[in-house]
Amino acid sequence: MDIILASGSPRRRELLNRAQLKFTVISVDIDETPYQDESPKNYIARMVAAKAEAATAALNSQLKNSDPYASTSLTSGSVILLTSDTIGVLPDGKTVLVKPSDRADAYRMWQQMSDSTHEVWTAVQATQLSLQPTHCDKPATEHVWQMIKQQHIIERTEVTFVALTQEMMSEYWDSGEPADKAGGYGIQGLGAAWVSRINGSYTNVVGLPLAQTLALIKQMSNDACD
């Protein structure tokens, strides 16, 4: 079954490429603001579901201007749509760390993670989409992508930081690396110097728990064939 990755993250694309997985990419943009008092579990599950809905709407918008019988992976049969979201969670189990809005926001998060252990959570949702006629009495060329089923997983990894100084935080922010990353750091980049140990999946901290994602894709593919 063909796979669509609904993500603009180059890190997620790189991880799937390492697994030699063939996939198509579509980027989506949603409001990622947490609700007041929203738990990390509810927040991250809401994010991957919202991204799936936005990606499906974008695919249907593209479909209106294309030939539904063209020989591409997006115009026939069924596909698996992958959506993912990564957050940091402080030891209180309640505070969600997303992408920093500015330098001050990054410093605030880093000070809470300094010389302590936080968790990185990544949710991955696999959604089966099927190309269906809009109405039985309409011409066969009028189709839409419809959601058939969804499955999602949440992977958690413990990450321990060294004690951070003002100089370390200032230099790291000025590098430009933290701005687009949950918790304001990238373990695969300069942020690795802050990590003294991890407990769990490394690729989860990068942005996509690879082994677990591949298992989810396999399960969804098998279910679609039953």
Which residue numbers are catalytic?
Answer: 85
Instruction: List, in order, residues 6 or more apart from 42 with CB less than 8 Å away.
Output: none
Cα separations (Å) of 73 from 25, 33, 77, 184? 11, 33, 8, 35
Rounded-to-10 torsion of CA 4, 8, 14, 18:
-10
Core vs surface per residue 146-179: b (16+ CB within 10 A) or e? eeeeeebbbbebebebeebeeeebeebbeeebbe
Q: Which pair of tokens denotes residue 62?
A: 């593209």
